[in-house]
Structure 1
Amino acid sequence: MALFVEVVKAKGFRGAADAIGIPNSTLSRRISVLEKAIGLRLLHRTTRKVELTEAGRLYFERCKRIVDEARLAHEQLGEMLAQPSGVLRASLPVDFAVTYLAPLIAEFASLYPGIAFDFDLTPRRVDLVGEPFDVAIRMGESENSQLIARQLALLQPRLYASSGYLERSGEPKEPADLEKHECLSMLKTGLGFWTLHDGKQTVRVSAGGRFTLNNVGLIRRLATLDMGIILTPEEIVADELASGRLRLIMPAWHGVPMPVYAITETRMLPAKTQRFIEFLRERLGR
């Protein structure tokens, strides 16, 4: 259809073929196939020019209208993608969102004023299939293989403690020293061990203590209150490091890298969700 329109506009096969970038013979053959398919001759061909038949004139007007409408729709779609709008519903990890994502969200909101935001920061795992969420940001391995997971970043956990705790209990210098310290552990990894790497070797050390919790915020807070050592990504304790309430210990060692994912129900995403995921991937992946 579009090829036929180009031939008519160029008033010949050669000009249309040059404009489209295909051989003249190929274009002529495709128009012949079109005429056979609809059972009507659309063009009078001579050695010097091409003219529309009566059927060709009617067909051209219809094709031109369809092509123009398609071009307009494409332009409108481009505008929608450039300035997406609507309400973005997202589930975010509480502490990571408050500590690290907040300024990124503010930056994203300033870039796309047409988007409104509805964020869920409860600890629960929202149901992306049964609930009207566009995306969920998750830390750690994806648990549902039926959903679409796009990795945004890999965060590297390190060891942190308060100066008060270190003054009272001493500062560990190597992994084996952690067995003598209070280690604040997450419940889901609370098997009593931490896996640490220094680039050359991997060790599994006892990380016991009086507290085993399922809330990152409380673990972080207890660490600032001189209650023990934590193993967490720097992004989670950025404020505490900046204020001096926590400091890095055993800098040569780090935990198993923690992935951050954008989880969606489908790969077919509206522009607002696409832009949000692309923005976070760019910023978090730096």
Structure 2
Amino acid sequence: MDPSLDDIALFVEVARRKNFSRAAEALDMPVSTLSRRISELERRLGVRLLNRSTRKIELTEAGGVYFERCQHVVAEARIAHEQLLEVAQQPKGRLRISMPVSFSLSFMPVIFRDFCEKYPDIECDIDLSAHAVDLLADAFDLVLRFGLQPDSGVISRRIANMSMGLYASADYLASHGRPAVPTDLLRHQCLRTRGSRASSIWVMKSGNRTEEVTVSGRLSINNMGMLQRLAAQGVGIVPLPIYSPSEADVGEPLQRVLPDWELQPMPLMALFPSRLMPAKVRVFIEFLQERLASLPAREHLVPRELAHGAVAG
């Protein structure tokens, strides 16, 4: 009997992740069942595809050749199935997404609510983290990260460019003064995402002018939400997206600093394991892009006397 496409798909999942437990989790089936099905596939083919050990599995030479051929066949079949379902009904299934904590807390609550209302047959499984993800081994359909990503063999797409401005509390500005030009930032406490030199170099633009300032401060935290809360407590000046939902604002309203200047936009990147995009992933990305493009500006955070100089973004 020839092997079924289902069994081939199981093998491809195990070969991608090189781990039965991870593959079983992604497939939502017992590890014992998955191992038995792979053994039956090897028996039918008459060749060993995997070298198993207590710690890991590796592809045999024959398994490597089989995987290279079969992964594209399985992907094409899965997309064909998704497209067929899309004709008859709304996209469905479990959508596994990894995204940064701060981005999720600031932007996603209302977006997730509305997405779930529009696509009731999609179950969202969200991981909030900023750690590096191996899309070929971890069970994610989509990973969202800020900044250009290193070439890791996965597919990436720019979802949005987040325009960035500088903000501080009224108390901080009353105590330390309001910067008039970018070089004034050298005398201020600047809140950064990391203590590295790269995150301390703020490149600012105003029309055709560009200024590069190496800032400093006593605090650097890899969480934008926490930095915003610290700024609200009068700790320093913080870079924040110019566009943001009002529910993301915490504490006392922050005031725009150097409103004629913007920092370099921060790209939001979507990473995928394959160019063949399931319908559930495609509709989520389209929904997210549309909502991010329509975000309101933080104009209410700019003092009224400075509003005429605010950058629209």
Q: Mark yes or no: TM-score above 0.5.
A: yes
Q: Is 2:90–2:121's contact at 8 Å kept on the other side of the alignment? A: yes
Offset at 1:173? 1.3
1:144 corresponds to = 151
1:122 corresponds to = 129
1:87 corresponds to = 94
Offset at 1:131? 0.8
Query: 1:177-256 maps to which residues of 2 (within 5 A)?
Result: 177-187=184-194, 190-191=197-198, 192-235=200-243, 238-239=246-247, 241=249, 244-256=252-264
Q: In the superposition, relative to structure 1, how do residues 185 and 81 fare at CA in structure 2: closer, same or farther (>3 Å)?
A: farther
Identity of aligned residues (%): 38
Alignment match of 1:153 (pick from 156, 160, 171): 160
Q: In the superposition, relative to structure 1, how do residues 241 and 117 fare at CA in structure 2: closer, same or farther (>3 Å)?
A: closer
Q: Deviations over 1:161-190 (max 9, x none)?
A: 011111111111111111111001121764
Give the unaligned 5+ runs of structure 2: 1-79, 295-313
| Other structure's SS at 1:213 match | coil
Q: In the superposition, relative to structure 1, how do residues 128 and 166 fare at CA in structure 2: closer, same or farther (>3 Å)?
A: same
Q: Is 2:99–2:126's contact at 8 Å kept on the other side of the alignment? A: yes
Offset at 1:107? 0.9
Query: 1:36-185 maps to which residues of 2 (within 5 A)?
Result: 77=84, 79=86, 82-185=89-192
Offset at 1:205? 1.1
Q: Is 2:106–2:248's contact at 8 Å kept on the other side of the alignment? A: no
1:268 aligns with 2:268: no
Question: More deviation in 166-175 or 187-196?
Answer: 187-196
| Other structure's SS at 2:234 match | coil
1:257 aligns with 2:265: yes
Give the unaligned 5+ runs of structure 1: 1-72
Q: Is 1:100–1:238's contact at 8 Å kept on the other side of the alignment? A: no
| Other structure's SS at 1:184 match | coil
Question: More deviation in 271-280 or 77-86?
Answer: 77-86
Q: Is 1:190–1:212's contact at 8 Å kept on the other side of the alignment? A: no
Q: In the superposition, relative to structure 1, how do residues 80 and 94 fare at CA in structure 2: closer, same or farther (>3 Å)?
A: farther
User: What code does the residue aligned with 2:233 have?
Assistant: L
Q: Is 2:159–2:269's contact at 8 Å kept on the other side of the alignment? A: yes
Q: Deviations over 1:218-260 (max 9, x none)?
A: 2222111100001121346854658643121111001001111
Corresponding pairs, count: 214
When normalised by structure 1's length, the TM-score is: 0.68
1:7 corresponds to = none
User: What code does the residue aligned with 2:288 have?
Assistant: L
| Other structure's SS at 1:151 match | strand
Counterpart-to-counterpart distance in 2, 1:218 and 1:74: 43
Q: Is 2:146–2:268's contact at 8 Å kept on the other side of the alignment? A: yes
1:6 corresponds to = none
Counterpart-to-counterpart distance in 2, 1:189 and 1:232: 18
Offset at 1:113? 0.5
**RMSD (CA atoms):** 2.4
| Other structure's SS at 1:153 match | strand
For the pair shown, which has the larger CA radius of gyration, 1 or 2? 1
Q: Is 1:188–1:214's contact at 8 Å kept on the other side of the alignment? A: no
Counterpart-to-counterpart distance in 2, 1:142 and 1:105: 25
Offset at 1:115? 0.8
1:282 aligns with 2:290: yes
Q: Is 1:220–1:237's contact at 8 Å kept on the other side of the alignment? A: no
